[in-house]
Amino acid sequence: MTKSAPLRNRVTELLGVDYPIVQAPMGWIARSQLASAVSNAGALGIIETSSGELEAVRLEIAKMRELTDKPFGVNVAQMFVRDPSIVDFVVEQGVRFVTTSAGDPRQYTSTLKAAGLTVFHVVPTLSAALKAVEAGVDGLVVEGGEGGGFKNPRDVSTMVLLPLVRSKVNVPIIAAGGVCDGVSMAAAFALGAEGVQMGTRMVSALESPVHENWKNAIVSGAETDTVFLNRLSRPGLRALRTERTTRLEREENVSLAEMSRIQDLYFGGDLESSIALTGQVMGRIEGIKTVADIVEETIVVYRETIAALSASI
Amino acid sequence: MTKSAPLRNRVTELLGVDYPIVQAPMGWIARSQLASAVSNAGALGIIETSSGELEAVRLEIAKMRELTDKPFGVNVAQMFVRDPSIVDFVVEQGVRFVTTSAGDPRQYTSTLKAAGLTVFHVVPTLSAALKAVEAGVDGLVVEGGEGGGFKNPRDVSTMVLLPLVRSKVNVPIIAAGGVCDGVSMAAAFALGAEGVQMGTRMVSALESPVHENWKNAIVSGAETDTVFLNRLSRPGLRALRTERTTRLEREENVSLAEMSRIQDLYFGGDLESSIALTGQVMGRIEGIKTVADIVEETIVVYRETIAALSASI
């Protein structure tokens, strides 16, 4: 496939990539096999830390150096990585781009910025966005409640949250939640984003290391096949609907201990053994594609969608 | 204010309006005072039937004839209006456009179509959309879970649901849920809509008959200030967060009897007396505007947003 011409905006400039598409930092999954495919496709691969396995992460970052000469980033999931040496670690590895999430943006931003890194903080509400900008971040990942993963229990959809944040801040925004292709990327850009983050779409990619049972559940499932756990406690979770999560949906307080066997699910394929963090876009994903095809098709359809809109006004 | 040039697409053709913006059919509220202002602004006002007060509705439709010479529509809320004479009634009144909702699309579509009306059915999922198209509707109102009102308990956001339905059907789509301005209209059109429906935005309009306490709650509230009731039963409801609804949020089965004093809330201003159906876009609404200003600003910003996107690809 011929590669599309690069897009140019504040996000591609800050990230040093051709296309403003970022792969989400799924715990255990966002490692070098997937992230290097994303970076090599001209988008931005991200290495996770939410597994808490810092030694494994260190090795994965080293592997990234072998697998790609393109930029990549690291996510610092503050709730899971309480060791402040995480910042020194990321800086030592020579990483230039970090997303911080699930914690107070004041905790690491100034240190990371002082070390010369570009920092985007992940936010689920306007008030969190304002706090992050106040803390000095370079940009925001604005995450709508339709996305998979750890969520604010008072979830707000991308259609509402993104333009709201856009209207109140000047920093560049990467949209997360509900984005899986060029059509949703065009919508996100209409709402004020200059980049998009894809989680479930990348989990389902050919290069994703997860078990085919989960990929097949994403491909065959409907848009209504996620559940939201811990609506009235924390952390909220959006996940694949299974027998287990259908039962957990009725519990007032789902413990993270319910996720202890996550690797049996993610890599062993036992979908009832844990909680498979998955977004509503699963209903739009109809096949397993290579990361290169996902990125290229997204950019082509993004441009086609805007050209068609432009012809209609 | 100068009026924008009309938009032309399948929705404006079918509805006979200048701008493909439809006012949602809020029970008791979507009556002639508000609906005539919408129709006179070049969009489509809709008269509700979900109040079940058919005699009042008959009078309101008669009033519409005095207040506007522009097209308007009627919503047939099947769950609330079980009397089949509703169809004869709508036909007799000379209404040309009907949305049907909260029921089986096979119930009234053929009769309404045989009488020469244009019929759009409101759907919250892909499977409902396919069923409605099979029943022969002219188009769909695709309603994301972020919107206020009666909802499918398994809510799906506009960002996911709209492009999913668009990819599977050919009929024109009006997007509902999360739409309140030209930016969100541009996003909806990127996702495949040819029209948008606004509920909460119209509830807050100057010409809306509701009490200023509710309008002020919409204007001052945050994007997180709605609750979703009956997640595990039916019907789901998205409503303004109040002390009462915060309590009801924890109940497994909220009876519609909780809404019996709705008029004390809507028109008396006692926000704790009932359940104020409100969408997440309340967080984006910062002032009370005339319907004419809402419609005109939406069209202007819609065109500006697409022009700016077009310049960036």
Higher pLDDT, A85 or B183: B183
Identify from A11, A157, A280 which residue to disrupt to test chain B contact, counting B C-beta atoms within 10 A and taking the largest count: A157
Report pLDDT for B254.
Answer: 97
Residue B80 pLDDT: 87
Q: How far apart are CA A179 and CA A202, in angstroms?
A: 11
Distance, in angstroms, between B64 CA and closest chain A CA? 30
Does residue A84 register a pLDDT over 90?
Answer: no
pLDDT digits (tens, 9 = 90+) for A150-193: 999 999 999 999 999 999 999 999 999 999 999 999 999 999 99
Count of residues making up chain B: 313
Half-sphere exposure of B20 (CA within 13 A, CB side): 26
CA separation for the pair A12, A274 (Å, rounded): 36
Q: How far is B103 from chain A (nearest CA, A)?
A: 19
Task: Judge if the upstream peptide bond of residue B172 is cis by omega within 30 degrees of 0.
Answer: no
Q: In chain A, which residues have their Cβ closer than 8 Å to the Cβ of B147?
A: none
Residue B281 per-residue DSSP state = G
Yes or no, beta carbons of A307 and B310 under 8 Å apart:
yes
**Mean pLDDT, rounded, of chain B:** 96
- Which domains does chain B possess? 10-208 (3.20.20.70)
Asked if A224 and B312 come within 8 Å (Cβ–Cβ), the reply is no
Q: State phi, psi for A27 to the nearest 5 degrees.
A: -55, 135
Provide the chain B residues 137-166 that lie in CB contact (below 8 A) with chain A.
Answer: 144-146, 152, 154, 156-161, 163-164, 166
A186 and B183 in contact by Cβ < 8 A?
no
> How far is the C-alpha of A197 from the C-alpha of A158, rounded, in Å?
12
Q: Which of A164, A189, A312 sits opposite B309 (nearest CB)?
A: A189
Please determine, for residue B82, whether its predicted confidence score (pLDDT) is greater than 80: no
Contacts of A286 in chain B (CB under 8 A): none
Our CA-based measurement puts residue A293 at a distance from the nearest CA of chain B, in whole angstroms, of: 19
Q: Which residues pair with B122 in a beta bridge?
A: B141
What's the pLDDT score for residue B135? 97
Q: Which of residues 101-140 of A touch B (CB under 8 A)?
A: 125-127
Distance (Å, whole) CA A260 – CA B103:
42
Helices of type H across chain A: 10-15, 32-40, 54-67, 85-92, 109-114, 126-134, 158-166, 182-190, 200-203, 212-220, 243-248, 262-266, 291-312
Look at residue B89 and tell me whether its pLDDT is greater than 90.
Answer: no
CA distance A198 to A147: 9
Residue B1: its pLDDT value, please? 59
Task: Name chain B contacts of A20, Cβ cutoff 8 Å.
Answer: none
In angstroms, the CA B262 to CA B269 distance is: 10
Only one residue has tokens 């509830």, namely B203
pLDDT at res. B81: 82
DSSP B277: B
Nearest to A158 among B9, B157, B250 (CB): B157
**What confidence tens digit (pLDDT) does each residue in B214-238 have?**
999 999 999 999 999 999 999 999 9
Measured between alpha carbons, how far is residue A258 from residues A152, A247, A249, A276, A278 in Å?
Answer: 18, 12, 12, 11, 16
Considering only the beta carbons, identify the residue of B160, B223, B312 that sits closest to A223: B160
Rounded Cα–Cα distance for residues B183 and A192 (Å): 8
pLDDT of residue A168: 98
Q: What is the mean pLDDT of residues B284-313?
A: 97
CB atoms within 10 A of CB A68: 18
pLDDT band at A1 (very low <50, low <70, confident <90, very high): low
In chain B, residues with a C-beta closer than 8 Å to the C-beta of A178 are 157, 159-160
Cβ <8 Å between A164 and B283 = yes
Tell me the nearest-neighbour CA distance from A313 into chain B, angstroms: 6
- As a whole number of angstroms, the distance between CA A164 and CA B33 comes to 30
Written as one letter, the residue type at A84 is P
| pLDDT at residue A83 in the model | 79
Quick: pLDDT tens for A202-259: 999 999 999 999 999 999 999 999 999 999 999 999 999 999 999 999 999 999 999 9
The predicted-structure confidence for B14-35, as pLDDT tens digits, reads as follows 999 999 999 999 999 999 999 9
Residues of A in contact with B177 (CB under 8 A): 157, 159
B204 at the A interface (CB within 8 A)? Answer: no
**B178–A157 CB contact, under 8 Å:** yes
Contact residues, chain B, for A223 at CB < 8 Å: 125-126, 156, 160-161, 164
Contact B157 A146 (CB under 8 A): yes
- Candidate from A163, A188, A284 with C-beta closest to B284: A163
Minimum distance, in Å, between the CA of residue A138 and any CA atom of chain B: 21
The DSSP string of A43-86 is SBEEE--TT--HHHHHHHHHHHHHH-SS-EEEEEETTT---THH
- Using alpha carbons, select from A80, A146, A138 the residue that is nearest to residue A114: A138
Smallest Cβ distance to B160: which of A7, A178, A306? A178
Window A:247-266, CB contacts with B under 8 Å: 249-250
Strand order in the sheet with B45-47: B21-23, B195-198, B173-176, B139-143, B118-123, B97-101, B72-77, B45-47
Q: Which two tokens stand for residue B74?
A: 């009627």
A198 CB within 8 Å of a chain B CB? no
Flag if A231 and B231 touch (Cβ within 8 Å). Answer: yes
Please give the interface size between A and B, counted as residue pairs whose CB atoms are below 8 Å apart: 162
**Under an 8 A CB cutoff, do B307 and A313 touch?**
yes
The rounded mean pLDDT for chain A is 96
Chain B residue at shortest CA distance from A191: B183
Contact, A108 vs A76, CB < 8 A?
yes
A308 touches B: beta carbon within 8 Å = no
A89-129 per-position pLDDT tens digit: 898 888 999 999 999 999 999 999 999 999 999 999 999 99
Q: Report the pLDDT value the prediction gives residue B87, as an integer from 0 to 100.
A: 87
